Amino acid sequence: ADAAGVDCILIGDSLGMVCQGLSSTVGVSLETMRYHVESVTRGVRRVQGTAWIVGDLPYGTYQESKEQALRSAAVLMQAGAHMVKLEGGGWTTETVRFLVERGIPVCAHLGLTPQTVHALGGYRVQGKTVESAAIMKRHAHELQEAGASLLVLEMVPAALSAELTTELAHCPTIGIGAGSGTAGQVLVLHDMLGLNLGKMPRFVRNFMADLPGVQGQHGIKEAMQAYVQAVKNGSFPDNVLHAW
């Protein structure tokens, strides 16, 4: 990924679903995340890479208290992460502030938050109503004020994501299923390479299959390079095909 020009590598708790066969991200442990952060860090360092490494704080490792969040974040930072990510707005604001004040960069996450997907009623687009959009905007501004360095917007209407990106002067947005108006994009590696079976989410594009020539002739690096190029030239995501 680093050699392909990816600016930031997120080691997400989605690895529980795409690597471990879990039905959701809820079962992923902090030790599992530590192992994968360490492994990715070694790989990036081996090629003298410069990609920013972000590690997900898994479910149950930061909800209890700010102090619990600090202990969990320290584990991932010691494993090689440059930043940690946590999900949700509202109550997480003070946790973000607490971590940032102690020198730990934080990526926030609004919209569809997979760790609490059951409370959201399933994998659905978030922020579609005037009321829910207003709440998301308020949470986004609170997280920026608390010191969040990045904000992931997942399955959020493209128009709302674009508005937030314009409004948040000090917190770049990273979209997944949130349209082309965000400052950056993220995709699960297995989705990007077409490694998952079954129906893919609307926002996914298989960059391995899109490469010219005989399927399989090109490698993972080329598919990642195609992804990077598509994001930078604005051809992905398409607001008609990949967003709401």
Task: Give catalytic residues, as residue numbers.
Answer: 154
| Contact in structure between 225 and 192 (CB atoms under 8 Å) | no
Report the alpha-carbon distance of residue 50 to residue 216 in Å, rounded: 28
| Contact in structure between 112 and 134 (CB atoms under 8 Å) | no
Report the alpha-carbon distance of residue 89 to residue 94 in Å, rounded: 10
Instruction: Give the distance, in angstroms, between the CA of residue 220 and the centroid of all CA atoms in the same chain.
Output: 20
Report the alpha-carbon distance of residue 141 to residue 121 in Å, rounded: 25
Separation in Å, CA 4 to CA 29, 48, 50, 62, 181 = 29, 13, 11, 33, 23
| Residue 36, H or E segment | helix 30-46
Report the alpha-carbon distance of residue 13 to residue 168 in Å, rounded: 26
